[in-house]
A and B are shown apart, each in its own frame.
Chain A
């Protein structure tokens, strides 16, 4: 991050009071203003963050060490019992596999496609603004609305996607019933929403690459594909790391799409009859808010938080290694 950490130069000592005013009071007020006001200006952020961001995150750890129910009024110290249970909890690991499966299916095509589209958008062309605006239209829709529209399109009997598949001679797919196909359907909602956004991020970064590099490569006879892999992709590496980490944080917390994909089932947090598309966040929500097991829900939340950190680090190292070798 480019943070300019030099001290600001705009604020010198308080100016002398204008003649005629009571110098003592004015000067004192001005000095107080200079000293105190900056802290007043930044304090709302800290108040909100400490109360509603930091404290809940730490308190989650405390809650996870208890048997804690709000409706039942239970609140007993459990030590690491919740964590011990988590390690052997088949439902949790099942949800973890679902989450990672959907996440991989969503992230990899999304970023590869985005790179490809950005490379196309970087050409000199007519109507480029129009194309760019069209690319981010999905981002400006609401996740819940999109999930409902896609769920209808993935309907087994009446869905448009099965209809199109029928045109090319394939049989109907029961998108909701099968574990793998439900992952694909949910991943496609995520892909659809975020590909254009990532393409614009990549496009911005591509425009910072000096054109001389490409001209030199062209003189040496490098093809466009070679230029793409040996100039564009390596130069984009910091940006790719950034998008991978953002996609990781979002992907591991996936909630709205799978919840609405479960439309028509009895408990929408289940993610289907055999939990085939239940994500970790849904499992956390279900434990806390449906089953009044806030302590265990908090344990799941912390496990997820650790997982996000580990995944982000692994992705960071992985992308840096693969992108760095020329």
Chain B
């Protein structure tokens, strides 16, 4: 079964027009004019995709339009389609708002997301390296249990998880949204798959002959080789932690929120003050948008390589 990596090893045949069958297929595609059009995009293709992109981007654009205007905007007919000049003022109201705890929410989310990301990448790559390249008893059985854990949705255990936090005295503490997510089975599995093919055994052997300890090999040889996969895992982990809603809602108080709970606080109290709320949602997705603009290609690659449902 190749469910988790539908694209592996097929990169070369991508890109549309190139025939996958090697020289013969290509010659055939070129030689017979009637097949040349088989993979060409028609104007209809472009039209379909442009419509899809507009639908896909419009709500985000609309959010920014409302966030930069004054509140009477929602009653306007037809609705305005260009941004206005009130963004700074709206964001000011956002941070002054006593019920949202917005600055606190941003800080908490930044700390929690960074901590979970660094820790997940570190522990997942350590374990992935061990599973891919080290010899130890019970390895195969342990790897199977890791794959099995990927099927269990963590929300199912949310009630006892909350009880554990009460026992530990971590209720309303930031570590409650960090510690349970320090490393995931998905991360370990992903790093193991990558390490198996990206790190040559000879390199590890050579480092060992030179007197490197196992951790030294990980730090100096393996981790640098894993950098691309670690980057993708880090991106997805950060996005997922930043987005988490249900568990923080259960375990944190409204006065000590993550940024998603700050938005929720606003929605509770000011659900008709759309410019305020949309300024909040815009600020809350800003880091994700920056990540997206800078690492868009890697995100696409990560999705197409495997499957990550945030």
Contact = CB atoms under 8 A, between A and B. Distances in A.
Interface stretch (B83-91, B175-183, B223-231): B175-183
Given A38-B130, A207-B14, A210-B21, A215 B28 contact: yes
A52 B179 contact: yes
A304 B152 CA distance: 12
A5 B181 CA distance: 27
B211 A18 contact: yes
Nearest to A11: B135
A44 B126 contact: yes
Contact of B48 (A1, A44, A120, A192): A120
B286 to A, nearest CB: 10
B157 A8 contact: no
B7 A144 contact: no
A301 B147 CA distance: 22
Contacts of B42: 123
Contacts of B291: 140
Interface stretch (A85-93, A178-186, A252-260): A252-260
Contacts of B146: 45
A288 B246 CA distance: 13
Interface string B187-200: 01000010010000
B225 to A, nearest CB: 13
A73 interface: no
Nearest to B283: A145
Interface in A1-57: 1-5, 7-12, 15, 18, 33-35, 37-39, 41-42, 44-45, 48-49, 51-57
Contacts of B140: 5
Contacts of B263: 144-145, 148
Interface string B14-37: 111101110001001100001100
Contacts, number: 364
Interface in A231-273: 238-239, 241-243, 246, 249-250, 253, 255-256, 259-260, 263-264, 268
Given A44-B127, A148-B267, A2 B158 contact: no
B250 to A, nearest CB: 6
Contacts of B243: 142-144
A158 B56 contact: no
A112 interface: no
B35 A218 contact: yes
Contacts of A34: 214
A142 B74 contact: no
B302 to A, nearest CB: 10
A56 B158 contact: yes
A187 interface: no
B131 interface: yes
Contacts of A142: 242-243, 260, 281, 284-285, 288
Contact of B245 (A56, A143, A149): A143
A220 interface: no
A59 B157 contact: yes
A128 interface: yes
A152 interface: yes
B102 interface: no
Interface in B241-271: 242-243, 245-246, 250, 260, 263-264, 267-268, 271
Classify chain B: how many residues form its interface, as a range.
35 or more
B56 A138 contact: yes
Interface residues of A, number: 117
Interface of B: 1-8, 10, 13-17, 19-21, 25, 28-29, 34-35, 38-42, 45-46, 48-49, 52-53, 55-57, 59-60, 62-63, 66, 74-75, 77-79, 123-124, 126-127, 129-136, 139-140, 142-143, 146-147, 149, 152-164, 166, 179-185, 188, 193, 196, 201-202, 204-205, 208-209, 211, 213-215, 218, 239, 242-243, 245-246, 250, 260, 263-264, 267-268, 271-272, 274, 277-278, 281-282, 284-285, 288-289, 291-292, 296-297, 299-300, 303-305, 307, 309-310
15 contacts: A5-B140, A10-B133, A11-B204, A38-B136, A38-B214, A41-B130, A56-B160, A56-B161, A120-B49, A128-B16, A140-B239, A158-B74, A263-B271, A285-B158, A289-B162
Interface of A: 1-5, 7-12, 15, 18, 33-35, 37-39, 41-42, 44-45, 48-49, 51-57, 59-60, 63, 70, 117, 120-126, 128-129, 131-146, 148-150, 152-153, 155, 158, 160, 163, 192, 195-197, 200-201, 203-205, 207-208, 210-212, 214-215, 218, 238-239, 241-243, 246, 249-250, 253, 255-256, 259-260, 263-264, 268, 281, 284-285, 288-289, 294, 297-298, 301-302, 304-305, 308
